[in-house]
Structures are given as structure tokens and as C-alpha cells.
Structure 1
Amino acid sequence: MEQLYHHPPQDGRVICIDEFGPLSIQPYAGKGWYKQKKPDRLPATYTRKHGVRHLFAALDLKEDKLYAHNRESKKHQDLLYFLKVLRRRYHRSERLYIVLDNFSPHRHKKVKEWADENNIELTFTPTNASWLNRIECHFGPLRKFVLEGSDYKSHNELAQAIQNYLRWRNKNKRLEKILREQNKIKVA
């Protein structure tokens, strides 16, 4: 792991992948400036009539760029779909070194076979050490800037907010308030 991070391979790039969620359509508490007499209040109860979604996220360490995709489940088929989307972003001759935790869909036979056929090397964090995956520190800012103080009405609205955040973050990755949130989560 440390070797990949501190001395990246010359023949490709290192990409860290993990899932974030489950994401529900519910009010999330947060801080903010509110009207004095009639502040917006979060409902005390809510129903999960929309189901949940899972965010597949990737961090390209070479460009310090985040990518993400919403899915209804976290099965190996969903991971394969996300990997195929990522693979299309880079030239086929460039080897991708993918860092993953030990979640069983990551180790599925079909995922490993597809990776071997598509110039991808899967690298797994040690058991119970998913914190070694560098994408972990990017979930804190995502939670703060997208979920905190929100009450989205649909998964599409939430997905759009996530994509808007990712575009903003990729343009402003050195902004102090982003770095401060990232540094709250310790990774290798």
C-alpha cells in the first residue's frame, strides 16, 4: 500500500475506490443561519419510501480528482459497471492500479477476471484496515458539504447535489475548508 502511494508505478496510475452509503432520502441535521422567528425545522419522523442508494466513488491520486456513480445496490455487477466507466476514462495502454477494501463483491471472480483482461491490477487493503484507502478522507467533506442540513426530495436531487459537489471539489481541491474536513479523517 505504502509503496503504491509514495512511489506510484511509472506504467499507470493509482485509483482508490470505495462505497459511501447507504444514502436515504431523509432530513439530515446541520448547522446554519436561520430566521429568528420561523426557522426551517427538520421533521421529527420520516418514512423510507424511496429506498436507498449507494455511491461508488474513486480518487485518481495522480490528478487528485474524484469520480462517483450512484447505484441501487453494492453487488459485484455494480462494481463492474463502475470499473468499466472508469476504464473508459484512461487510455487502454495505461495500467490502472485499483486500491479496494476486502468487501466480498470486490473479490468476486468476475471482477478479478475482468480486471485481468483490461490492464487493471486490483490491490486490497489488509483485513480490517480499510482506513488505508486514501478515498476514505474524502467522504467527510462529502457528508459536510452535501448532506449536512439537507432535506432532498428524491434520489435524483441528491445525486445531482453530489455531482455538483464533485465538480466544485475537483476545481477547488486546495481550498482550506475542503482540506480541513479531509484532515479530520486519518488515512495512510
Structure 2
Amino acid sequence: MLEKEIVDSISIETIRVILNEADITYQHTKTWKESNDPEISEKKRIEELYENPPKDGRVLCVDEFGPLSIQLHAGKGWFQEKHPDRLAATYRWTQGVRHLFCALDLKTDKLYGHNKASKKHQDFLAFLKMLRRRFPRSERLYIILDNFSPHKHKKIREWAEKNNVELVFTPSNASWLNRIECPFGPLRKFVLDGSHYANHKELADAIQAYLRWRNKDKKHEAILREQKKIKVA
């Protein structure tokens, strides 16, 4: 093996030295998934709904955020004290998890969310019924969602047909087509980062407070942009 310059193992530091001597820098690479869905052409109708919003209704992007657990969440902040509080590296997971059902209304850019203890088809159906009550029944709802099995449950499909709702599924390995993914970043930053909630009710209240603020005051986007410009000396 040594004659062929092949070794059983090698350290990262040795690799770094070898690359440095060859004037080669180590680079991270990014990857993406190509959808192999046989119905991808048909399902890409989502892009048409984005570019040409339907006149007979509105487009709602739906997905689940979580699971949410009661634990310490690290974050960034400015501290006046020389020794800011430290976060414990361990915690006891005693209160189970919750799942946040979210919907983004593309017509108004409003974000709606409901916390549930599970994400079974019954929970998803209850969330859809809540969305349906928000808008006139004459207005057709185009629900964009991924291929999570509860989304395709027979009862979900039957309810959609009876209530002027069309379920529009993303192609396999192409959940990025769902625009609901975009608001999840700010939601995590404003609600979870640097937090330590006592229980799920406190966390749920914080989520609803954020949603009310976001839907009322669009300055949150400018705040995020400014935060990215801040650099620690």
C-alpha cells in the first residue's frame, strides 16, 4: 500500500498541509436534488400559480414547522455585562414536542399558524378547516403542499373536493418550490434564537405574538437585513 502511496487513514491536518504545499485551498461544495418525479411537468403548475395568480381564488402555501421542544436555544446578542449568561449544554426533554402548522397567503403575504401536539391527518384537516373559514366559500383555495402522507389522506381529499379547495402537490424532492419555506427562517430567528421558554403554552404565545407583529408590521424584513450587516469588532 505504501508503494502506491495509499494509507489506511490520514488526519485532516495532514491533508491541509499537503494541499497548502500544492497551493490548493479546501472548498465547501453545495448540492441540490434533481426531482425524479414522473409527474414533474404536471406538478410544476405551481410556478404558473405563482406567476399568474388565479382570479377565482387565492394561493396558500402550507407546511409544518418543527418539531418544537422545550429546550435552551442558542442565539446572538449584545451584552453590557462582562460575563453574559451561559447556556447549559444539556437539558431534560420532559414536555414532549409540538408541531406548528403554517400557511402563507400569497395575496396578502400574511402568515397563519396553529400549534398541534401531533401532525396526523386529523390535525391537518382541522388546520385546513380553519383556513377555509377565513375566506368566502365562493373563493377557491389553491393549497400548495408537499407529499407528506397525511396530506394525501382520503379524508383530506374528500373534504377538499366538497369545500372548493384544490390540493397542489410539489414534485418529489422539490419541496423548495413551496414558498412557505422562506418565512421559516425569520420565524426561527425571532422566536427561537436565544430563548428559553418554560412550557409549550409560553412558546405558542410567543409564536402567535410574532405572527401578529409580522402580519401587521412589514419592517421585520428590513430588521433582518440590518442584522446581517452588523459585524463584531
TM-score range, shorter chain: over 0.9
* TM-score for both structures, normalised by structure 2: 0.75
> After superposition, where does 1:70-149 map in structure 2 within 5 Å?
70-149=115-194
Alpha-carbon distance in 1 for matches of 2:226, 2:137: 36
Alpha-carbon distance in 1 for matches of 2:188, 2:195: 10
Alpha-carbon distance in 2 for matches of 1:44, 1:52: 19
Question: Which residue identity does 1:159 align to in structure 2?
Answer: A
| 1:161 Cα deviation after fit | 0.4
Say if 1:92 and 1:25 are closer, same or farther in 2 by CA, change over 3 A.
same
| 1:177 Cα deviation after fit | 2.5
Residue 164 of structure 1: aligned partner:
209
Residue 198 of structure 2: aligned partner:
153
Q: CA offsets, 1:49-70, max 9 Å, x none?
A: 0000000000000011000000
Aligned length, in residue pairs: 181
1:16–1:133 Cα contact (<8 Å) kept: yes
Residue 176 of structure 1: aligned partner:
222
Structure 1 unaligned regions, length at least 5: 182-188
Alpha-carbon distance in 2 for matches of 1:180, 1:120: 39
1:25–1:151 Cα contact (<8 Å) kept: yes
* TM-score for both structures, normalised by structure 1: 0.92
Say if 1:43 and 1:55 are closer, same or farther in 2 by CA, change over 3 A.
same
Alpha-carbon distance in 2 for matches of 1:78, 1:114: 14
Alpha-carbon distance in 2 for matches of 1:111, 1:118: 11
1:44 matches 2:89: yes
Question: Which residue identity does 2:93 align to in structure 1?
Answer: R
SS in 2 for 1:134: coil
1:64 matches 2:105: no
Residue 34 of structure 1: aligned partner:
79
Structure 2 unaligned regions, length at least 5: 1-45, 228-233
| 1:105 Cα deviation after fit | 0.5
Which of 52, 56, 59 pairs up with 1:7?
52
1:34–1:40 Cα contact (<8 Å) kept: no
1:56–1:71 Cα contact (<8 Å) kept: yes
* Greater percentage in strand: 1
Pick the structure with greater CA Rg.
2
Q: How large is the RMSD of aligned CA atoms in angstroms? A: 1.4
| 1:110 Cα deviation after fit | 0.5
